[in-house]
Amino acid sequence: MGKGCITATKYFLFLFNFIFFIFGATIMGFGLWILLDNQSLIAVLQESSVILKVVSYILIGVGSFSMLLGFLGCLGAIYEIRCLLGLYFTCLLLILLAQVAVSILIYFQRDLLKTEADKIVSQVVANYPGQNKTAEQAWDYLQRTMQCCGWNGRMDWDENHIIKNNTVPLYPCSCHNYSIQAPIVPDNGFCQASSSDWPIYQTGCLEHVGSWLFTNYGIILGICLGVAVIELLGMILSMGLCKSVHQEDYTKVPKY
């Protein structure tokens, strides 16, 4: 490989590692968002699920490791350090294999994950309002912004202990459908209904979440493929540069 090709490979590898560093920072930020957010469905699940908390810590760890790996890759590329390039290639290969394994696991365990989400949300709805204030505020926010009611539908609220045991017809205020009735209602808690026919949204939040995923699946898939391509290119460039550095060092060895 000529000197110009080595230089181009070196700077391209630096660019890919910089992108990888940004990617790691994004993953770490997403993990922190899952851990600290209290205004979305993630907060509802995270408050009641140890699994999601563990996932958030894993994402923070993977993101931090990816940032470190990107930094080491940049150093190895600029200063042509073979041991760093080899370490970078090995770690990148392990990360790629881990991503494939996790994707396969999520695909085959999707029914279990859905069941877990159903159970968690059902508990939040049945015990509302209880002691889990963060999850309840997040659930109110989700129903209000996504214009839905319950996880599978309004029938989920029939299991709520306050609605079942109250002689006055009540409904969750965050489900209020302003296209049916336009009075100002609170953002949370229960509102009194004039009859058993609640002025609420009839669609469950699961359908809205599924619709959002279906609408944006192309973007999600594109991001995943883009990350995989960047990783593969980084592996190819690191091995090419490592081999070139080795050959260059070999030619500098004096022959007797």
Q: pLDDT-based confidence at 157, cuts 50/70/90?
A: very high
Place of tokens 């790996």: 69
DSSP codes, 23-73: HHHHHHHHHHHHHH--SSHHHHHHHH-HHHHHHHHHHHHHHHHHHHHHHHH
DSSP codes, 87-118: HHHHHHHHHHHHHHHHHHHHHHTHHHHHHHHH
| Tens digits of residue pLDDT in 85-115 | 778 788 878 877 877 777 777 778 777 777 8
| Tens digits of residue pLDDT in 171-201 | 999 999 988 877 888 888 899 888 778 899 9
pTM to 2 decimals?
Answer: 0.57
pLDDT at 202 over 50: yes
| Tens digits of residue pLDDT in 45-69 | 555 555 566 667 777 787 888 788 8
Amino acid at 114: K
- Residue 161 corresponds to which tokens in the numbers above? 């202990």
pLDDT at 6 over 80: no
Which residue has better confidence, 217 or 122? Answer: 122
Domains of the chain, residue spans: 3-121+228-248, 127-205
The pLDDT assigned to 256 comes to 44
The pLDDT assigned to 172 comes to 92
Which residue has better confidence, 248 or 133? Answer: 133
Q: How many residues in total does the chain contain? A: 256
Express as a percent the part of the chain with pLDDT over 90. 5
Amino acid at 141: Y
Tell me what the pLDDT averaged over the chain comes to. Answer: 76
The region, left, alpha or beta by phi > 0 then psi within -120 to 50, assigned to residue 122 is alpha
| Tens digits of residue pLDDT in 210-244 | 766 666 666 767 777 777 777 777 778 777 777 76
pLDDT at 255 over 50: no
**Contacts for 84-87: CB closer than 8 Å, 24+ residues apart:** 85/238, 85/239, 85/241, 85/242, 85/245, 86/238, 86/242
pLDDT at 42 over 60: no
Minimal CA–CA distance to 209: which of 217, 201, 198? Answer: 217
Between CA 67 and CA 26 the distance in angstroms is: 9
User: CB atoms < 10 A from the CB of 235, how many?
Assistant: 17
